[in-house]
Structure formats: structure tokens, C-alpha cells
Amino acid sequence: MSDAATPPSVPGFLPPDAAAPGALAGVRVVDLARVLAGPYCTQILADHGADVLKIEPPGGGDETRGWGPPFDAQGRAAYFLGLNRNKRGCTMDLTQPAAREALLALVAQADVLVENFKTGTMEKWGLGPEVLTARFPRLVYARVTGFGADGPLGGLPGYDAAIQALSGMMSVNGEPDARGGEPLRVGVPAVDMVTGLNAAIGILMALQERTRSGRGQFVEVALYDAALSVMHPHAANHLLDGRVPRRTGNAHPNICPYDTFRTGSEPIFLAVGNDRQFATLCQHLGAPELAQDPRFTTNAQRSAHREALKALLEERLAAFECKPLADRLVRAGAPCAPIQDVPAALADPHTAHRGMVVGVGEHYRGVASPVKLARTPASYRLPPP
């Protein structure tokens, strides 16, 4: 890496006439983030046209490059590949003064800076939000943290699974105690992903406000806050009547029938949200009398008698194969689905129809942006750097 006397070689932003298509064309982003929440945020921006420069430390870069197997032919882990497309990249050792000067030159041209260093790191380098937003008044400075900068847990590092445990998320995930269940981590990094989404939303809010005020601002999103924000309906239930949420397996705490049910083949997931849908389900199972049973006429009654209802439904479901039944029910207006694994979901004809698996070049494939804009859709231009 360069010493203090020799500035590092850093690519600049694209000229305006080379801006990518998309709703965020012309928005320039300095991406100092690594691992998941920050890179997911900046990939959202990049997919929709922002010019994102991903800056990694020398000596290995973003640690998710090594979070495998699997690895691609260049030795990059799938974990890294899934979060960093549509970005250009370089390395900079920000412990060195020359690198910090080079970074400042980039920030002078940028609209957004995103980082998730340990709290205080950017301030130690003289690059904290107060310094940069004073020097560059239009800059939107976005920081992803574990717990925020202050408070009882302020400044501490945060990791998805640990915050799932701390936020109550694990306490409501898993089989009930009666079945020998224990709290379980959600099988995807839900806290990191929702933090990345909130960071992208916050950045877009700040950019929108800048069109009125002409000024950028500091955006902070903490994993802890984001985890609490998605604890619905468990948090709402507790705040209303003090109940302590419990693990219910696949069953919903407020809605019934909303659970997995045995059929004559593989299990089906029923997601019946109202009385009309329940009547439709019963009709298609050849048991219309269940919809008239006083125990099951309303959602509140069904929830109070959920074990009896599940037993009665599974008696009827035993006569049906899952996938043909699921297709008939959902088309009739009773929400449900077979339980697919990841390969089946990615190969599903509707996945193809929605364009949800995309490629760049010969070697990169990934899951597409779920945001479908009519005039300025997402585009997939660059493989991960």
C-alpha cells in the first residue's frame, strides 16, 4: 500500500454522460461498508443506477470474500458475491494519511458515504460525520452500527445472531416448549437484511429532503433498533395486554389456520386470514360444515380452538396430495403453498417469470432486485469487484 508521500491509485466516479440507467442515475456513493447490512444497502442503490465505489482494506478486503465454501473460480465466496454486484472496487489503507486524502477527494464528488466501522473509528481518522458533513454540506453520511454510539450498549459491536437473541426474535422462533423446543435463530440473517433495507430507505429520505434544503445529513441505522422494529405482532401484543409471546412453531400467534398441516403427501402451509378464505378452504376440502361450527366461525374462535381445528383439517387433508391441492386452493382464494427448498424456489416458473434470477457475464448469477419500477427499472451491469 502507498506510504504517506504517494497517494494511492483510486478510480474516480463515472462522468455524467456514462451514468448507468435507473432511478438513482447520477447518485455517487462511497461504500466503506463490509459484511452484510452495509453492502446490501449499497447494492440496492447500485442496482437502481447509483455509481458505487466499494473501498476495501488491503490484505484480504471485505471478510465475506472468505466466507465459504462455495467459492467461484476467482476464489470469492458466494456470500460476498450475493451482496456486491454493480459496484466498482479498490483498496485503501485508511490508517495512512495519503489514503485518507484520496478518500476526501472522492467524498468531495460524492452524494452519499456509507460505513459500518466500529464506532469511533472514522472519528479517530478525522473522517467522522460532524467533520465530513461540515466540510461537504450536501453529503448524506450513513452509518450502520450494532447499537448506536451511546447508551448502555453504545459503541459495542453487533452481529445478526446475537441481536436476534437479544431482541426477542429467537424467543418466538422454534417449536413450543411442549414439543421440547428451544429458541432458534431465524435461518436467514434477518436483522442484517432489514438493517440494510432501512439504511437504503434512510439514505433515500435524506436525498429527497436535500432537494428542498440543499443540505445532506447524518443517517444512522442500528441493528438493535432494526431488530425491534420487525418484532410484529409480538411486540404489539405485549404492549397492548402484557402477554409474554411464546414459541408456536409454524403457527401464527394471532391468526388461525395459519400453520403447516399434514396432507396425503408432503405438508402444506395454510395462510388463511379471514372468514371468507376459511369458508373457501372448507368447501374445497369437502367439509363446509366446519365453517359453520360455532368454534370456528371467526378468527378469534378459531384461535381459541386451534388444536381441535388442526386435527379436523388434517383428517380432511389426508385425502389430498399437497401440490395439486395447493394450486386449486390458492386459485380459489384460500392462501396456501407447498413448502419448497431453495433450489425449487429458484427454479420455480414464477421466479423466472418475475425475472428474479439474473446474470452478469458468463459467471455471475444472483437474486434480482425485488423493486420493479416501470420507467427506470433496476439493471445488472457489473459483477462483484
Active site amino acids: 192
- Give me 106's grid cell: 472522492
Q: How far apart (Å, rounded) are the C-alpha atoms in residues 49 and 20? A: 5
Nearest CA to 365 among 353, 355, 373, 374? 355
Per DSSP, helices labelled H in the chain are 37-47, 78-81, 97-107, 121-124, 129-135, 160-166, 190-213, 223-229, 234-241, 275-284, 289-292, 299-304, 306-317, 322-332, 342-347, 349-353
How many alpha carbons lie under 13 Å from residue 140 in its C-beta half-sphere?
A: 25
Closest C-alpha among 226, 215, 210, 332 to residue 270: 332
Concatenated DSSP letters for 146-177?
A: SS-SSSTTTT----HHHHHHHTTTGGGSSS-G
